[in-house]
Amino acid sequence: MKLPRIRLRYLVLPVVCAACLGYFAHHTINGARGLVAYQELQAEARQLKTQIAEVQAEKQKLEARVSLLRPESLNRDMIDERARIILNLAGENEITILREAR
């Protein structure tokens, strides 16, 4: 049983529209700028925010140590510690604990 040509002509436009709609729906979800890519970018942004927080915390620790070495706020213990590290010296009555380099 063959369909008449007139009925086929009425089916062409809906089939083409459905194909276009399917194409755009597929790329809305899976495309380079689709929902999946958006979720991956959101996860990466969260990960980078935690890395930023860690780096900022480390920066604050380093700034605190550096502030102890500034001329306006010299800390004798800090100067002594740095001098011993740089010169690789220890006192006669001190115990030295060696650690592996990181």
Res 3: pLDDT: 59
Q: What is the pLDDT of residue 71?
A: 75
Provide the pLDDT for residue 2: 64
pLDDT tens, position by position, 64-89: 888 877 777 777 787 888 788 788 77
pLDDT tens-digit map of 2-22: 656 667 778 888 999 999 999
**Three-class SS string for the chain?**
CCCCHHHHHHHHHHHHHHHHHHHHHHHHHHCCCCHHHHHHHHHHHHHHHHHHHHHHHHHHHHHHHHHHHCHHHCCHHHHHHHHHHHHCCCCCCCCCCCCCCC
Given a cut of 80, whether residue 1 has pLDDT beyond it is: no
Q: Decide: pTM greater than 0.75.
A: no
User: Residue ranges of the domains in the chain?
Assistant: 31-87
